[in-house]
Amino acid sequence: MKRPLVGITADFRTHDSAPYHVVGDKYARAIWEAAGCTPLIIPAMAESQEVSDMLDSLDGLMFTGSPSNVHPTRYGRDADEKAEPYDEARDAMTFGLIDRALEKGLPSLFVCRGFQELNAALGGTLHACVHEVEGRMDHRMPKHDDPDVRYGPRHAMNFTPGSLFAGIAGASEIEVNSLHSQGIDVVAPGLEIEGHAPDGTPEAVSVTGAKAFALGVQWHPEYKALENDFSTRLFRAFSEAVRG
């Protein structure tokens, strides 16, 4: 049986003065291994992409995480050097993709930066630095050379009883990693918060009235997805939606 085709969003970066479109291996590997689908990298080239035509060729989308942050002008704030680095080429691509994917009803999974893009694209706002908000913990990536430590469990995630996430998890609480600086401030209209970190930071959302699977997570379930029970469940649920 032919594997479904899932688009995964890329960053636009410069290395040795040359431009690249880049996706972390863990995202492509999670789609291939945990979701059982074929990943297709979508370059950050909004000016040359016919979004509608592209989506007609895809069975699903994953909006990936990234070291970069959503540019504040995308959610009505002034640029702040504390929120750097930015990737405005990616913003231009993903914001258009989000609108069309939701309109089309294409199953979509939003991870970390993708989670933030979803909130901003639908009219919400972001904290540039969650760790500077009174009462919030430091959600940034641990400074450690071992990726298993950087992506290791950091805090509990409490799901709303009866929510889509609770149904996928088969539980009301799980442990998640934490590697982000930005975070939801004002929740966008049309998003339902389904999970919070212990400090109250929204970290799991669903799109209200979505035509298909449309879930966002602030953490990184793609890292060694098959070694984590909830991550496996999440990618399998996504796969079922893509195949459906």
Q: What mean pLDDT comes out for the span 150-169?
A: 96
Tens-place pLDDT, residues 162-171: 999 999 999 9
Rounded CA-CA distance 136/101 in Å is: 32
Q: Is 52 helix (H, G, I), strand (E, B) or coil?
A: helix
Q: Whole-prediction pTM value?
A: 0.96
- How much of the chain is in helix, strand and coil states, percent to nearest 5? 35, 25, 40
Residue 48: pLDDT above 70?
A: no
Rounded CA-CA distance 239/156 in Å is: 25
Contact indicator for 59, 213 with CB cutoff of 8 Å: no
Q: What mean pLDDT comes out for the span 40-62?
A: 86
At 69, the pLDDT band (50, 70, 90 cuts) reads very high
Tens-place pLDDT, residues 185-241: 999 999 999 999 999 999 999 999 999 999 999 999 999 999 999 999 999 999 999
Q: What mean pLDDT comes out for the span 14-26?
A: 94
Please state, for a pLDDT cut of 70, what percent of the chain lies above it. 99
Residues marked as catalytic:
112, 220, 222
Domain covering 5-243: architecture:
3-Layer(aba) Sandwich (3.40)
